Amino acid sequence: MKDIKIHVNDLSLYYGEKKALKEISMQIPANKVTALIGPSGCGKSTFLRCINRMNDLIPDVKITGEMLVEGVDIYDKNVDVVNIRKKIGMVFQKSNPFPKSIYENIAYGPKINGIKNKTELDEIVETSLRKAAIWDEIKDRLDDSALGLSGGQQQRLCIARTLAVSPDIILMDEPASALDPISTSKIEELVHELKEQYTIIIVTHNMQQAARTSDYTAFFYLGELIEMGKTNAIFTKPEQKQTEDYITGRFG
């Protein structure tokens, strides 16, 4: 693990009194896909949302420990959360395109970053949609409402929207959980292509998906990081008994 993008040191998170993340320490490599797996309620989403400070929106959340992105602690008082999120994009479990046209959905991010030039915007919209492998399907209906797209198309649109602001890191929370196999495989291919340019962290419940798409895998259980390593290693000879039980489906 030579090129580390994110260092997490002793990160704990409390929802009120409840400790949802317990002293997590891990390193996330740059330009690789890292999968987060674990049973429901173990804190995968919570951890993912820590990385772009989405948990700031929830009242009564307390975070201790360090989250260093390229050496900068993003929870430092002098760090602007808006700039963090520009660099760390997020794709949500449930696709959530804005109730705007397809074009406006993609152009929104660049626009709020101050890009006004129409040709420049057009270009960003096209490249983002192409990267998200949806351009050919919707290039003729850019002015239609994004809500008229199918679920799979909407999710790829959301990915394109995230790409349009050209982040460094992309967080994906079960991006394919509500999609059919064809859309799912498209998104998996996409993840594979995107890792050339981006650092990707993906939460998934699907073991095959984790095995297929990721380079590294982290296993969470009850708010703790049990084990993290190369995906191959985790899936073939995990060090911890709990990991093995979970991966093989013998989980109680």
Partner 1 sequence: MNSEFPNKQNFTKESLKKQFRLSEFLAEKIISSVAFLSIAIIVLIFVFVFKESLPIFNFGTSEKAKTEMEAAPDSGAKPESYGSEPTEELKPETYGSEPVANEELKPETYGSEPVTNEDLKPETYGSEPVTNEDLKPETYGDVKAEPTVAASSDEMKEVVGSNNEGADKTWSTFFTTEWVPVSEHPRFGLIALLIGTLKVTIIAMLIAGPIAILAAIYTSCFASKRAKEIIKPIIEMLAAFPSVVIGFFALMVLATFFQDVFGYESRLNAFIGGVAMALAAIPIIYTISEDALSAIPKTFTEASLALGASKWQTAFFVILPAATPGIFAALLLGVGRVFGETMIALMATGNAALLSANPFESVRTFAATIGSEMAETVFGETHYSVLFFIGSLLFIFSFALNAVAEFYVKGKLIKKFQGK
Ligand X SMILES: Nc1ncnc2c1ncn2[C@@H]1O[C@H](COP(=O)(O)OP(=O)(O)OP(=O)(O)O)[C@@H](O)[C@H]1O
59 binds partner 1 (CB under 8 A): yes
What the block records as the tokens of 120 is 């420049």
Spatial CB neighbours of 92, under 8 Å, sequence gap ≥ 6: 158, 173
Query: Which of ligand X, Mg ion, partner 1, none sits in contact with 208, Cβ below 5 to 8 A by type?
Result: none
144 binds partner 1 (CB under 8 A): yes
Q: Helices H, strands E: what count in the chain?
A: 10, 10
What the block records as the tokens of 141 is 């209906």
Nearest residue to 88 via CA among 5, 25, 152, 157:
5
Can you give the three-state secondary structure of 201-251, one letter per residue? EEECCCHHHHHHHCCEEEEEECCEEEEEEEHHHHHHCCCCHHHHHHHHCCC
Report which DSSP code applies to 166: -
Query: Which of Mg ion, partner 1, ligand X, none sits in contact with 72, Cβ below 5 to 8 A by type?
Result: none
204 binds ligand X (CB under 6 A): no
Q: What is the CA radius of gyration of the chain?
A: 18
- Range 16-35, binding ligand X (CB under 6 A): 18, 20
> How far apart are CB 61 and ligand X at their closest, in Å?
8
Strands 72-73 and 61-69: antiparallel
> How far apart are CB 82 and partner 1 at their closest, in Å?
5
> How far apart are CB 19 and partner 1 at their closest, in Å?
23
50 versus 107: smaller Cβ distance to ligand X = 50
> If DSSP codes are grouped into helix, strand and coil, which group holds residue 58?
coil
Binding mask 158-197 for ligand X (x = CB under 6 A): ----------------------------------------
Query: Which of ligand X, Mg ion, partner 1, none sits in contact with 109, Cβ below 5 to 8 A by type?
Result: partner 1
Residues 238 and 227 sit within 8 Å (Cβ to Cβ): yes
53 binds ligand X (CB under 6 A): no
> If DSSP codes are grouped into helix, strand and coil, which group holds residue 171?
strand
1 versus 58: smaller Cβ distance to partner 1 = 58
- Range 91-120, binding partner 1 (CB under 8 A): 92, 94, 96-102, 104, 108-109, 111-113
Give the residues lining the site for ligand X (CB under 6 A).
15, 18, 20, 38, 40-46, 58
Give the residues lining the site for partner 1 (CB under 8 A).
52, 54, 57, 59, 82-83, 85-87, 89-90, 92, 94, 96-102, 104, 108-109, 111-113, 143-148, 158, 161-162, 165
